[in-house]
Structure 1
Amino acid sequence: MGITSGIIFQLLYGALGCWSCYITMCLYMDYVKILERHNTRRKSHIIQWYEVLNGLLGRWWRAPGLLFNCALLVSTATIQLIACANTIWYMNNSLDKRTWTFIFGALCFLTVLIPTARNYRLWVFFGIFMTTYTAWYFTIASIFFEKHDKHVQHSAPVSTIQYFSGATNILFTFGNHALTLEIAEAMDTPRKYKTTNVYAILYTFTLTLPSAVSVYWRFGDQMLDHPNALAVFSPSKFKNVAIILMLTHQFIEFAALVVPVFAMWEKLLGIHCSQNYTLKCVARMPIVLGICFLAIMLPFFGSINSVVGATLSSIGIYILPCLAFMVIRQHKESRENAVEQPPFWIKSWVGVYCINLGLVIWVGIIGIGFGSWASMHNLMHKVEKFGWFAKCFQC
């Protein structure tokens, strides 16, 4: 996308991601209020997005909520598994990436043992340290240690397809990967998550902006051919540490993403509130098996990111919550009884509606429209070049 557009779109989609999270949490708190008023909330039951839509708007809204939420979580978990194989290959290429996918796919079966997201909070905290090290390794190594090429080219954006593929990658990055309510449910005070998420996005900027700018400044157009920045850095012990930490982080994120899918699957089977731990573990195995199959079939890391961002993330994370909010709040009673009133910097429901409508139009045109066209074109090009079930993509 080039430096200017890359920075602007990160800031824009970071803000839109915070807003969609805020809207989602507003509807979540309304739903919790209804459950508590009727004394129907169960302690062992994890509330998920499609249930909020069902409780507030009915089953016709439940279906798209369930479809896009589940598909996005499965797709993002698949991306993490692909990323594991891509990352380890830069440290040990004695095995091809498909073989590494099989190995990490087998390890991913350990995630069926995680009871709930609450049992996972400490590992997620470690994941923050791991991504922090890697991002600042990219930044520092690019500025001080990598060889400077006097003839480096910075010609991006080189095509409309590349430009909008990059835009949808950023859209996907700040979309919370459909985990908003699952994270909130794992907190002692779920209502605080809307604020926590803002701090999280601000911290994310300290990782993504310096590393993206410095790596592109140092390597330029080389990055157009590498979906993983680790490919262009010289071998070193610091790079190996970054690889090991990112592998661990990607495995942690895989687990964080599949736990909500496990909950949906258990609810479908009617065993979600069961105390039979062994039964739950066995029932979860087909989910991991299906994700492993997808990762082996389509191992195109960057291209899959773009497709998921343009289709599933655009609709499920950005557009659907804003549309649902506008439908619910059109009634005066809903506005008066809302747990969360308009924020102090807007003060009016008209302002909230304007932001929602602007988000829906922008993401609909740029994300779904141009983004889907560019990302699908990019993905089909990769399939034609490497084929399905590629043994070693970009090796």
Structure 2
Amino acid sequence: MDSHSGNGRSNGVVDKGEELENGISVADGVHDHTGGHGRGSFIKKVVWHGGSVYDAWLNAVSAQVGQVILSMPTSYAQMGFKLGLFFHFFYVIIGVYTCYLLARLYVEYRARKEKEGVDFKRHVIQYHELLGALVGPWAMRISLFFNVVTVGAVSVVQIIACASNAYYLNPNLSKRSWALIFGGLSLSVDLLPTIHNFRVFSFLGALTTTYTSWYMLTAAISRGQSPGVKHSAPINVESFFTGTTNILFGAGGHAVTIEIMHAMWKPVRYKYVYLACTIYVLFITVPHSYALYWSFGDELLLKNNALGILPNSYARDTALVFMIIHQIVAFALYIMPLNFIWEKFWGVHQSHYVKRVLVRLPLGCVLWLLALMFPFFGPLNSLIGSLFMTFSVFIIPSIVYTITFWTPTARENAAEQPGKVRKAIGWWGMVTLNFTVIVLIAVLGVGFGSYASFSNIIRQVENFGIFQACYQCKL
């Protein structure tokens, strides 16, 4: 699998019919984007070519939070108020830090390759490629495995979530029937060439989750507390760590960081983009989770989709429709890295658009089948978070960053020199932070989290079986 294509330095000029993300300049961090978005029509420029920091923010928000906002209230019911808030902020802070590490690794890799005269005009840089180039083939193989499973599983969950929401709109069809419908519809996202073309879709993604979150908050407050409501969490270790790993899952949206950065005209700015994204995401994940647990208490333990516990109304139906829209957008974002990997495997990554689309279709069909087999909405989030996201977006970046900049020479020649904060922390401070992240995530996420998530999944399979027609339905 090639790590780049073509020769000659990227010059910032966009040829007709081609999209070019700018290179990384060792001197100033980036080349300016020149020549607009190409010579196409005004509509095409406005709608289709999205490489600004605003586009990156929309992409990051859409990837960071989606269907997980529907299962987060249940996580609070599993953890309790205080521990729920603590782990929510704890994992978000770690997520911001490790995303920063990934962003620096991307800039370093891109700068080194462009010094060698490599041109990425028709090649999308990916997570496993840059880790392999920076520290060795072993890192490429390990990161490829974990990231493929992570983004693949998250894509599967989006289909399951679409079916769950559609069922609450129209229970005349089972969730499995809805999964069949939306699994088929999701194949249409293969028509999108790259994340560079997500401007309108990511705008819809951010809009829909914002509405849904604030609708749930308003509904919980206006409803008040149920008579005799109980807040028993944490009940046991298994339930508690199932909740924490779902929060961990929600903090792991930077599994598509590299692809989002590559779609930017000025990728060195992504670390600020992601920080802004995270602050915004906290505003649309914490309030409604806390309020719904306050209102419904232990009732949330019976529903992994918070919209399923709220009364029927036009506002709720709007939220359900909006979340279906968002989940299609999220599916498109998360399947895109898999599409690129699959194209490279078959040697068509730089081929004609139609050939690339045709090669992508079987991959979408496999994810469709998996969504039908394992329709366990909330439990799957926890399993993905504990077993795969822990490595792909937390542990591996911490290890690779430490190895990449271990020597004084590597730090002196780094493409991006330390700012005030990183200078204050110092190199050994960074090493200490990385080691702390590795240990904490390994113990809390991989250790306790995997135990709780596996136990929960096994129980769901025993109770409902695979290819379940209507998981958690009133039949």
The TM-score, its normalising length taken from structure 1, stands at 0.98
Return the letter of the residue paired with 1:51: E
Counterpart selection for 1:156 from 218, 228, 233: 233
1:68 aligns with 2:146: yes
Return the letter of the residue paired with 1:97: K
1:128 aligns with 2:206: yes
Shift in Å, 1:306: 0.5
CA distance in 2, matches of 1:129, 1:264: 30
CA distance in 2, matches of 1:336, 1:175: 30
- Greater alpha carbon shift after TM alignment, 330-339 vs 383-392: 330-339
Contact 1:177 1:313 in 2 (8 A): no
Partner of 2:462: 384
1:313 aligns with 2:389: yes
For structure 1, the residue ranges without an aligned partner over 5 or more in a row are none
Partner of 1:176: 253
Structure 1 vs Structure 2 CA RMSD: 1.0
1:113 aligns with 2:191: yes
CA distance in 1, matches of 2:172, 2:263: 40
* Per-residue deviation, residues 289-312 of structure 1 (Å, max 9, x unmatched): 000011000000111001100011
Shift in Å, 1:185: 1.1
Counterpart selection for 2:335 from 258, 282, 298: 258
Counterpart selection for 2:356 from 272, 277, 280: 280
Shift in Å, 1:25: 1.0
Return the letter of the residue paired with 1:367: G
Contact 1:342 1:349 in 2 (8 A): no
Counterpart selection for 1:57 from 135, 155, 162: 135
Written as runs of structure 1 = structure 2, the 5 A alignment for 1:237-248 is 237-248=314-325
Contact 1:22 1:194 in 2 (8 A): yes
Contact 2:99 2:254 in 1 (8 A): no
CA distance in 1, matches of 2:205, 2:194: 17
Change (3 A) 1:141 1:107: same
Partner of 1:202: 279
Contact 1:117 1:182 in 2 (8 A): yes
Change (3 A) 1:53 1:148: closer
Shift in Å, 1:57: 1.3
Report how many residues are paired: 393
Partner of 1:14: 92
CA distance in 1, matches of 2:356, 2:427: 44
SS of residue matched to 1:244: helix
Partner of 1:292: 368
Contact 1:76 1:177 in 2 (8 A): no
Same amino acid, percent of matched pairs: 37
SS of residue matched to 1:149: coil
Please state which structure has a larger fraction of its residues in helix: 1
The TM-score, its normalising length taken from structure 2, stands at 0.82
Moved over 4 A (4+): none
Shift in Å, 1:121: 2.2
Return the letter of the residue paired with 2:98: S
CA distance in 2, matches of 1:340, 1:350: 18
* Per-residue deviation, residues 61-88 of structure 1 (Å, max 9, x unmatched): 1101111111111000000010000111
CA distance in 1, matches of 2:354, 2:312: 44
Return the letter of the residue paired with 1:99: S
Shift in Å, 1:102: 0.1
* Per-residue deviation, residues 329-387 of structure 1 (Å, max 9, x unmatched): 21111111122334422421111111111100000000000000000000000000000
Return the letter of the residue paired with 2:302: D
Contact 1:72 1:313 in 2 (8 A): yes
SS of residue matched to 2:350: coil
Contact 2:373 2:468 in 1 (8 A): yes
Shift in Å, 1:177: 4.9
Contact 1:81 1:105 in 2 (8 A): yes
SS of residue matched to 2:440: helix
* Per-residue deviation, residues 262-288 of structure 1 (Å, max 9, x unmatched): 0110011111011x1111111001110
Partner of 2:58: none
1:214 aligns with 2:291: yes
CA distance in 1, matches of 2:88, 2:420: 25
CA distance in 2, matches of 1:357, 1:263: 32
Counterpart selection for 2:163 from 56, 78, 85: 85
CA distance in 1, matches of 2:203, 2:263: 13
- Greater alpha carbon shift after TM alignment, 12-21 vs 344-353: 344-353
Contact 1:310 1:371 in 2 (8 A): yes
Counterpart selection for 1:225 from 292, 296, 302: 302
* Per-residue deviation, residues 211-246 of structure 1 (Å, max 9, x unmatched): 001000000001111100011101000000000000
Contact 1:73 1:177 in 2 (8 A): no
For structure 2, the residue ranges without an aligned partner over 5 or more in a row are 1-78
SS of residue matched to 1:215: helix
CA distance in 1, matches of 2:247, 2:254: 12
CA distance in 2, matches of 1:343, 1:299: 46
Return the letter of the residue paired with 2:237: T
Contact 1:45 1:272 in 2 (8 A): yes
Counterpart selection for 1:301 from 377, 382, 390: 377
SS of residue matched to 1:262: helix
